[in-house]
Structure 1
């Protein structure tokens, strides 16, 4: 089971941050912003219906510097980089689905309540979650990273991805291509929304993300460097505990003991159900899943079930989850399974022109550290400036907590040398 689940389920330890309408600058600038009229060009000149067009901007939280620092410390996240309070907004924007058809998505835009008018931007992509209500634009407990980076003086774009938050449809879990298009379009929407809020973005972009979001961060950085987000300049990349090497590391780890059983069952079930809609793996769930799990697994991943409830209704181990035939196929992938792994397993096959730091914990039994090491070797072979930063004997979620303050300080170094 992911602790994206566990952390959101437990909400915020210690004194919770208050939520409500944004104050001062945010409240003043928001007049006339919520429910932006269709057909009106945004601040960057976009026309109605284009990818990244803002549909609405709604205030969701306002926190003082002291509140941000207190909440981060309560979650064992270093608060030393905190310099400002934060204002947070849910942005609804236009994007495309995995088949290129128009749709909408939501995300969280967070800005410092002080500091300059012109802001650099951090893209922060979140980890695995099956319940749409856990996404950053709707769940206070999913915003710690955004608050940390915004409190250093930058704007932060945190996409919910497709099918999470208040976006329509089901989430195409681990579909890298659509996660990237939704994230790129969130960058565009953030530029427009920032202008509506009386701020502007410099175009400097710092990319980070955790778990699933670590893999998305690497692929997003590649897209930005390749010109898919005009007006943004990639400055540094710092993902945490991403499953970059699906076929060579993550998938074998599901059966050799490196991934714990509870998380393995959750991740694999979610992956198979979601990827089956894009790369047909089965016609009937019973071809893959044992009963009684075959009869319930697709219903469980409908975006409404809590992650911990899903785990309770599935098998205790991967071996007990799968039919004998598919378990053998898992160990030697073919067909739709192999296609899904290949389609989503090449986030590191490129040469970044900016420095890359891959953060990982060496006791991670959700996403083994071998993912980071393989990614680093692949990047280095292409001539990239890359380092693996081991953050100590911590588990999956401990790696994120241990890495965040260091990433914030690195990004604040300007060129992130």
Structure 2
């Protein structure tokens, strides 16, 4: 219901002429841009376009303060259909591509790959522009190519979705990056060599899997600049699974069925008959509900409140007691934290998350740091549940990663305009930073990520002593606002 209200509001605020254009194009076959890269092919189908004013409205709808976010460029959205490896074959999958418009032609663009959270219906995947998919307009407007894979079994793919399956999530991301790079020839953009990864919930797991894949196997082609996995189940075998069964009920029992049926579609080892896992009538009814057309809410409503009424007696104990149980083997195959990131990573979590337990992030950070990671941190978003944690985590991760982006200044600019100024050093390391390129008597306000005024002053020096690590904004009088990161 909320999604329908949001989409109605967004469409209502689009100019009438734009609505007419997309009503017209939906009635006819859209022209597809088709290219080939080796044995793989990709197409790009136009979906929608937002002006900067419309993106600002979208930001206000998400209650993002205008003091810390203002749309810079209009954005065009496309559905990309592309090939990726899966099991022993090559399959066709889909994803969303967002391209900022009006960027200086001399500037190549950074790439942000955002991995979406749990969806059950295929048309809730990003390339159908649901609520989460429309975040791509916000992420792209600062001048980023934004990619959102739909994953295997979602979007246009008709297979069973292998829920929280790390390798297929990672491959969906990597091969969408590859497809988008090839499409840049026709869509008039190129990559600048900066690659970022983020995602929330299942998307946090997928972002971690993608980040690992990029650093392990694609570092020379798509070097990871920074990543922000958000509230993801990184440690399924040791944290997410055991903590799920510490209580007699779980907030979303549909996730458990999704996990078992999805993994079995890939591994084929978790059960021969679903009655080995679930009691009746659920063992008989559940497979038909995972048809890509039934909502998670409908499945949750159908399932019993108590896990003891859903699962076969003794099943959880037998899994816990046997490290070689097929579920444990699959879970360990999809743990995504036992690797050492070379690029900066920040994991966001909230302590009252009832769906993805926050110890996933704590365990991941501890393991990575103990094994040599030098720039992996976590950020405690506070005592919020999974839904309330999402907005601040997604936006906070986006802003944090943008701090590692190097702004493009075209080579044909012979003199730096007086409105182009910089913050040095940025990130700040627990001390003072300097505003370069501004008058010595410039006045400024220092604000936090919520827009709250912390202090103000005059001159080129800004002192961060005593402030916690995080994202801040220096708002000058007449010279605009820039973000700055404070690291310890």
Question: For structure 1, which segment, 374-383 or 272-281, has the greater mean C-alpha deviation from structure 2 after superposition?
Answer: 272-281
Instruction: Determine if contact 2:249/2:305 at 8 Å carries over to the other structure.
Output: no
Find the partner of 2:60 among 58, 73, 78.
Answer: 73
TM-score, normalised to structure 2, is 0.75
Distance 1:331 1:20 in 2: 55
User: 2-side partners of 1:343 and 1:138: how far apart?
Assistant: 30
Distance 1:407 1:330 in 2: 35
Q: Could you give the per-residue CA deviations for residues 253-303 of structure 1, whole angstroms, max 9, x where no partner exists?
A: 11113x96231x111110011112233111111111011111111111121
The superposition leaves residues 326-379 of structure 1 with CA deviations (integer Å, 9 ceiling, x where unpaired) of 23234445521111111101x111111111100111111000110110111111
Residue 34 of structure 1 is matched in structure 2 by 32
Aligned to 2:298: 309
Query: Does residue 94 of structure 1 match 2:83?
Result: yes
Question: Is 1:105 paired with 2:93?
Answer: yes
Aligned length: 391
Distance 1:140 1:113 in 2: 22
Instruction: Deviation per CA, 1:201-250: give whole Å up to 9, x if none.
Output: 11210111111111111121111112337531210010110100111110
In 1, distance between residues paired with 2:56 and 2:397? 16
Q: Does residue 84 of the first structure (1) align with residue 73 of the second (2)?
A: yes
Match of 1:171 in 2: 161
Distance 2:363 2:95 in 1: 31
Q: Give the structure 2 partner of residue 364 of structure 1.
A: 353
State the 1:14 CA deviation.
4.5
C-alpha distance 228-287 of structure 1, shift in aligned 2 (>3 A): same
CA-CA distance at 1:387 after TM superposition: 1.1
- Secondary structure at the aligned position of 1:141 is classed as coil
Give the whole-Å Cα distance in 1 for the aligned partners of 2:129 and 2:319.
34
Q: Which runs of 5+ in 1 are unaligned?
A: 1-5
3-state SS of the aligned residue for 1:226? helix
Distance 2:306 2:219 in 1: 42
Kindly indicate which of the two structures has a greater share of residues assigned to strand. Answer: 2
Q: Which moved more, 1:287-296 or 1:314-323?
A: 314-323
Q: Give the equivalent residue in structure 2 for 1:270.
A: 258
Q: Contact 1:359 / 1:399 at 8 angstroms: preserved in 2?
A: no
Q: Which residue in 2 is equivalent to 1:116?
A: 104
CA contact 1:293–1:315 (8 Å) conserved in 2: no
Please list, as runs of the form range in 1=range in 2, the aligned pairs for 1:253-332 lying within 5 A after superposition.
253-257=243-247, 261-263=250-252, 265-279=253-267, 280-332=269-321
**TM-score for both structures, normalised by structure 1:** 0.87
CA contact (8 A) 2:162 2:263 kept: yes
Cα 1:83–1:243 shift into 2, 3 Å: same
Q: 1:240: which partner in 2?
A: 230
Tell me, in whole angstroms, the C-alpha distance in 2 between the residues paired with 1:378 and 1:13. Answer: 45
Give the equivalent residue in structure 1 for 2:391.
401
Cα shift at 1:64: 1.6
Higher relative contact order (CA 8 A, sep 6+): 1
CA shift, 1:144, in A, is 3.4
Indicate if the aligned counterparts of 2:251 and 2:354 stay in contact, CA closer than 8 A: no
Equivalent pair of 1:360/1:372 in contact (CA under 8 Å): yes
Once the 2 structures are TM-superposed, how far is the Cα of residue 106 of structure 1 from its aligned partner?
0.2
- Give distance in 2, aligned partners of 1:12 and 1:253: 36
Q: What displacement does 1:183 show?
A: 1.1
Deviation at 1:320, TM superposition (A): 1.6
Deviation at 1:10, TM superposition (A): 6.0
Q: Which of 152, 163, 176 is the equivalent residue of 1:186?
A: 176
Structure 2, unaligned runs of 5 or more: 407-426, 428-488
Residue 190 of structure 2 corresponds to residue 197 of structure 1: no
The Cα of 1:13 is off from its aligned counterpart by: 7.6
CA distance in 2, matches of 1:106, 1:77: 29
Once residues 233 and 65 of structure 2 are traced to their aligned partners in structure 1, the CA distance between those partners, rounded to angstroms, is 24
How is 1:377-416 mapped onto 2 (pairs within 5 angstroms)?
A: 377-384=366-373, 385-415=375-405
CA shift at 1:20, angstroms? 5.9
